[in-house]
Structure 1
Amino acid sequence: MTTTASVQAEIERFLRSTEPEVLCITGEWGVGKTYNWQRIFDRLRSAKEIGLGRYSYVSLFGINSLEAFKQSIFENLEFILPESEAAFDRLLARGNNLFQQGKKAIGAVSAIPTVGGALDKLASPFLFSSIRTQIICVDDLERRGDGLSVKNVFGLISYLREQRDCKIVLLLNEIKLGESGTIEFNDYFEKVVETKVVFAPTATEAAGIAFSNREALSELISEYTIKLDVKNIRVLKKIERLIRLVLSGPIPKPSEKLLRQLVHSLVMLGWSRFDSGARPPSIEYLRRDSIGRTTRSEKRTPDEERWDAIRRSYEFVYLDDFDLALARFAESGILDQKLIRAEAEKQEERIRQADQTSSFANSFRKLHDSFSDNHDEVCHAIVTAFENNFDVVSLTELNQVVEVFERLGEDRLAEHVIKYAEQKAPAPFWLYEDPFHRPLSDRLAKIIEQKKSEDTPKVDFEHDLIAAAQTYDPKVIERLAARTPAEYLALFDSKEEKELRTVVLSALDYRKIANASPEMLKVVKDAEEALRMIGKRSALNAFRVNNFGVSLNSSE
């Protein structure tokens, strides 16, 4: 059996038995000692399989004296009604009611300083005398108050077992007892405790405990928490809460791919936010571009090297805008439904386009991956995919389709897809400049020449900037060098997200060329000047500009 299964089996044996004994369950904070104990206790209680009829749960958190410990055992006393004759059940039920009424009355009178103090001294021994032949769970020994020693706790536990026929389970994090507590724990442990088990579940076992409802979402959350090796039950439940809040609010019906990204991201972000004991990367660190940091050869600390290794293993290297919206929620705890919904809609569109691209590419599988006599089926698949996914088809891909149909002797279909493109494609579609200068079908070449002649009076600054970074066409670079910093500023201000990164990096691309021409250097100079103007607007923009390797001080 696994560690978790062994502990669970021991708890079940302990609860079913009537023999007085002491069981010690130790483990790190958050691994689910109390959660696991309570879950098994509730299950056996419902099944009426617990050996004794009474139970007290006591947390020693902040308890400063032995008397307070004793009083807490009585105050938390409850009856477990075992399977028995109906008359006996009724008798126990009446006894339980009397105990509850007695506790309320004593609590009310205790609020009167003089009378209450005297009553406490008189009543406490009497009330504690009722504690016998029962199960007592003593939790949080390491969090006890300064006035309560481990020695005294063990002394009372020993008395309850030997003189009152009680069964006591002790739940604690042994390594957090402190120096004096550890010494006393080791001194008296063998004299008091019969059985000790260490509760140290694996990430798989922890997920099984935290997400006992094995529905599809729980399985998906478990997949990623296991991959990240999260073992803290409290952290797992908090991560689950983050995910369910988003799904019950701004994104109630995400696509399968968006749901997977949402869970994948919030597991990492939630782990970063809640599991301080695991020393995870901060959310701020996760926001940084680790690829850029690595390629810039920045010196990293041992923690940063460990964090980057975790990010690579978990495949969480780059955060897109949807991830950043989720990071904001995980960090602040405030669910900005409008922001997350808007970014989710944008991400769904990106996913749709990616799926279309994949669908179009897959339509060629029937052409390349078979020797079957399925000419018509191949042509139909390509035409259908071409039309259904045309908004993600490029001019180069149109040319590939035309060439395939021409080689297959399907001139009619070649003409069909060209006319379809003429009707559907916007003007920029026909102006794309292939950096590899691959030959085009004669039919397409004529259309492109016509489109270019119609578009000659217009100059597309953005198109030139991106194309020049790929082709290094000197004529295009010369046109770019004639632009002003103000024009670069206007272009950068008009872009967001991936489009912004594309135009900025295209403008700065010539920095890596050792023998850059004067025109190339002019492009870089004007682009950097535009970025400096943006950076001077705010500290946030200065940070963003610096990420592109541009200092606000032009002399640097």
Structure 2
Amino acid sequence: MSIEARLVSFLSSKEAGAIVLQGKWGTGKTHFWRHTIMAPVLAKPWKKRYSYVSLFGIESLAELKSALAIATDEFDQDARREKRKSAKILWLWWRLWAWLGDLLDFIPTFGEKLSAVFRRASFYLVRDRIICFDDIERRSEGMQLRDFLGLVSYLVDQRGCRVVVILNAGQLGDGQPAWDAYKEKVFDGEITFAPDLEQTISLGLHGSVDEPWHQTVSASLKELGVSNIRLVHRTARAVRLAMEATATTPLQDETVERIARVVPLLVYSAHGQGENAPPMDMITREGAYSFTFTLLGDDETRTPQEKAWQEALRTYGTSVDTTLDRALLSLVRAGYADREQLAQAIVEFEADRESRSLLEDYQKAWRTFHDTVAENGEEIVAAFERTWPQVSANARADETQSIARTMRLLGRQELATCFIDTWAAQQIDRPDALDMRTIQSYTQVDDPELLAAIERAREAAEPPLTLHDAFDRWLADTRGIDERAISTFAAASPAEIVELLDGVRDKRLVGALRRVMALDGNPGYPLWVSTVDNFASAFRQIASRSPLAAYRVKSWVGIEPASPERE
């Protein structure tokens, strides 16, 4: 018998009893109970008597009884409205209880006693009904599980109720021993709710089956492995917000598809850290290009977890790199849609179809590498010869390194050189792309041919500085790393640096020299290594001139005078 059939049978029985509906956190037990089990039962609420109570924040047994009485009253009144029954006397009683009970709490002694009378009288009306207790593990410390179980037993034995307790398995904390000791005396059985991935997603999206985005969102959540119904709900809500914000403007099918692919990824990352979701900084850092390659040692610096995340993102195949994606990210983070931002982002997205088409072709080219073990080298080369020139201008250095290594692996060194030189020439008008901090902020770039091309492009973009100008810039930029200055330092001789330093008198001198030596330890940055070597040699020469010079250099940068053999 299915879980649904067992619960329906229990609710249909005329005999009182109690059962537990348990399962892991986030599987959708409450949602399943409300929408699958109780929704048909309460289609005509006046034919049923039902009370639902969450124990979240409940402090005591008395407070729980009051909450149950209020839930009973609210349901019965709603049912009476549905049936258009008057029942004025009972209605007046409940209204009196609702405000007078609260008022009496503020009246000392007499008020407390009379308030207690009202609560007992209200609770007396709770009988012969279906009762659901939820969020047991979220009760306050003052609500003892033994007292709760005693109440369940009382409702069954003395009030003829059928009680369902929804429980997150293994989450009772200090109350677990009491639960284990008394549960068999209270409950007739336990039902474990453990839906598979498809069932959870279907349950969470049940209210959107007629929406144009439903099928894509469902498929996306399955690809991501989102098994927490709360994340499914958040996803559906975020997509609805995006659609409602643009309801006055017809959207292209491609736009709807994009929203339905990107939002599940963003929600999963933003709210699914407990579900091992990839972090948001990785999703926003990795571009459409990055998702297409994890090969040839390009990801050696990543941890096993980062590699797993990257592979999952590559498999998912949808990146966060358009203006529309960034607007959707703002929506997910804020919880509401900026209509103006979203509308403008959609205009740009729908106008940029040609660029996306080129990028999709390039991604398909990588599929010829990733999706087969067949000897298809010529197919791979042909795919990249056709697609790389169309997208290379906006690619990163590490992406260029990856494709160049792939060409070399296939014996096409001339093509690797062509791809590198073409990319480097395209970056001359993008100085930020040639900054070493940008270049090395993703996967490490250490390809000698590519690094040389980057340096040539940097020189073409901005002519080299004189040594004095470079050091002046270095003195002024006390927090950053001036790549143009470093290039000049790397090309200078130790003797030229000595001559330079002899002419400097500045309160920023010591800090500047220490920042130069802090460039050490970065073998992937050849210019940095050369700069440190040149300054270290210059410091040893300076330290050798006198005890005063030796003391200064030793205390400032920790370098000893040069020995005759060393210099």
Q: TM-score scaled by structure 2?
A: 0.62
Instruction: Choose the corresponding residue for 2:257, options 251, 256, 260.
Output: 260
Instruction: Write out per-residue CA displacement over residues 270-317 of structure 1, whole angstroms, 9 at most, x where no aligned residue.
Output: 111122320211211212235577653343334323322321232235
| CA 1:114–1:312: 2 relative to 1, 3 Å | same
Query: Hey, what does 1:175 align to over in structure 2?
Result: 170
Tell me the residue number matched to 1:492: 430
Q: Match for 1:202: what amino acid?
A: D
Equivalent of 1:350, from 345, 349, 352? Answer: 352
* Residues 254-333 of structure 1: pairs in structure 2 closer than 5 A: 254-289=251-286, 290=290, 295-316=297-318, 319-333=321-335
Q: 2:190 aligns with which of 166, 175, 196?
A: 196
Equivalent of 1:23, from 19, 22, 25?
19
Residue type of the alignment partner of 1:279? N
User: Contact 1:137/1:171 (CA < 8 Å) preserved in 2?
Assistant: yes
Question: Are 1:232 and 2:239 matched, yes or no?
Answer: no
Does residue 51 of structure 2 align to residue 56 of structure 1? yes
Alignment CA distance shift 1:233-1:133 (3 Å): same
SS class of match (1:264): helix
Distance 1:346 1:133 in 2: 61
Match of 2:399 in 1: none
Residue ranges of structure 1 left out of the alignment (5+ in a row): 360-392, 397-466, 481-486, 543-548
Change over 3 Å in CA distance of 1:29–1:552 after alignment to 2: farther
Aligned equivalents of 2:354 and 2:52: distance in 1?
54
Q: Deviations over 1:25-64 (max 9, x none)?
A: 11233322222222232332124596xx432221111212
User: What secondary structure is seen at the aligned counterpart in 1 of 2:213?
Assistant: helix
Deviations along 1:317-354, one digit per CA (max 9) or x if unpaired, are 56344434433432344634444434433332332466
Once the 2 structures are TM-superposed, how far is the Cα of residue 130 of structure 1 from its aligned partner? 2.4
Of 63, 69, 89, 1:68 maps to 63
Matching residue's letter, 2:353: I
1:523 maps to amino acid: R
Q: Which amino acid in the other structure matches residue 459 of structure 2?
A: D
Partners of 1:54 and 1:78 within 8 A in 2: no
CA distance change for structure 1 residues 551 and 155 in 2, over 3 Å: closer, same or farther? farther
Give the C-alpha shift of residue 69 in structure 1: 1.6
Tell me, yes or no, if the aligned pair for 1:157 and 1:192 is still in contact at 8 Å: yes
Q: Is the 8 A contact 1:142 1:176 kept in 2?
A: yes
How far is 1:150 from its partner?
1.4
Q: Is the 8 A contact 1:16 1:49 kept in 2?
A: no
SS of alignment partner, residue 8 of structure 2: helix
Query: SS in structure 1 opposite 2:128?
Result: coil
Q: Is the 8 A contact 1:151 1:184 kept in 2?
A: yes
Mapped partners of 2:165, 2:140: distance in 1: 16
* Alignment pair present for 1:110 and 2:105: yes
**C-alpha displacement at 1:92, in angstroms?**
5.8
1:212-241 Cα shifts (integer Å, max 9, x gaps)? 231132222112112222222222121112
In the alignment, the residues of structure 2 paired with residue 552 and residue 167 of structure 1 have an alpha-carbon distance, to the nearest angstrom, of 77
Q: 1:137 to 1:526 in 2, by over 3 A?
A: same
Residue 160 (structure 2) pairs with residue 161 (structure 1): no
**Contact 2:245-2:339 at 8 Å conserved across structures:** yes
Q: What amino acid maps onto 2:305 in structure 1? A: D
What secondary structure does 1:168 align onto?
strand
RMSD: 4.9
* Whole-angstrom distance in 2 between the partners of 1:358 and 1:515: 25
1:156-207 C-alpha deviation (Å, 9 max, x unpaired): 11111011111111011122111x3121111111111112112222222122
| Aligned position for 2:134 | 139
CA distance in 1, matches of 2:42, 2:209: 23
Could you tell me how far 1:124 is from its partner in structure 2? 3.2
Tell me which amino acid in the other structure corresponds to 2:232.
L
Structural mapping, 1:3-22, within 5 Å: 6-22=2-18
Q: Secondary structure at the match of 1:78?
A: helix
Question: 1:117, CA displacement in angstroms?
Answer: 1.4
Paired residues of 2:15 and 2:160 also in contact (CA < 8 A): yes
Listed as ranges, the matches of 1:450-469 within 5 Å are: none
Question: Which letter does structure 2 place at the counterpart of 1:264?
Answer: R
Cα distance in 1 between the residues matched to 2:195 and 2:116: 44
Shift of the 27–539 alpha-carbon distance from structure 1 to 2, 3 Å rule, reads farther
Aligned to 1:248: 244
Q: 2:170 matched to 1:222? A: no
What's the counterpart of residue 386 of structure 1?
none
Q: 2:204: which partner in 1?
A: 210
**Which residue does 1:425 correspond to in 2?**
none
Give 3-state SS (helix, strand or coil) of 2:165's partner: strand
Whichever residue aligns with residue 195 of structure 2, its letter is P
**AA at the equivalent of 1:44:** V
Contact 1:19 1:165 in 2 (8 A): yes
The answer to whether residue 439 in structure 2 is matched with residue 470 in structure 1 is: no
1:218–1:530 Cα change, 3 Å: farther
Residue identity opposite 2:240 in structure 1: R
When residues 96 and 172 of structure 1 are mapped into structure 2, their CA distance, relative to the original with a 3 A threshold, is farther
Query: For residues 419-458 of structure 1, what are the structure 2 equivalents within 5 Å?
Result: none
Partners of 2:307 and 2:121 in 1: how far apart?
A: 62
- 3-state SS in 1 of match to 2:11: helix
Structure 1 537/328 Cα, relative in aligned 2: closer, same or farther at 3 Å?
farther
- State how far apart, in whole Å, the 1-side matches of 2:14 and 2:330 are: 53
How many residues are aligned here?
Answer: 421
Query: Which 5+ residue runs of structure 2 have no aligned equivalent?
Result: 362-385, 390-414, 465-469, 484-523, 533-567
Deviations 1:64-89, CA, capped at 9 Å, x for gaps: 2222222221122137679x999x98
Q: Give CA deviations for 1:460-516 in whole Å, capped at 9, x if unaligned.
A: xxxxxxx9963899xx99x98xxxxxx976x226x99xx99xxx99xxxx9845599
Paired residue secondary structure (2:310): helix
**Equivalent AA in structure 2 for residue 219 of structure 1:** Q
Q: In structure 2, what is the Cα distance between the partners aligned to 1:31 and 1:515?
A: 50
Matching residue of 1:412: none
* Distance of aligned partners of 1:539 and 1:172 in 2 relative to their CA distance in 1, 3 Å threshold: farther
Contact 2:137 2:171 in 1 (8 A): yes
Residue 123 (structure 1) aligns with: 118
Assess if the C-alpha contact under 8 Å between 1:228 and 1:268 holds in 2: yes
In the other structure, the counterpart of 2:498 is: none
Residues 11 and 97 of structure 1, relative CA distance in 2, 3 Å threshold: farther
Deviations, residues 375-403 of structure 1 (Å, cap 9, x unaligned): xxxxxxxxxxxxxxxxxx99x9xxxxxxx
Structure-1 residue corresponding to 2:38: 41
The whole-number CA distance in structure 1 between the counterparts of 2:350 and 2:163 is 55
Cα 1:189–1:539 shift into 2, 3 Å: farther
Matched AA of 2:332:
A
Distance 1:85 1:514 in 2: 81
Instruction: Output the amino acid matched with 2:220.
Output: Y
1: CA distance between counterparts of 2:65 and 2:139?
Answer: 14
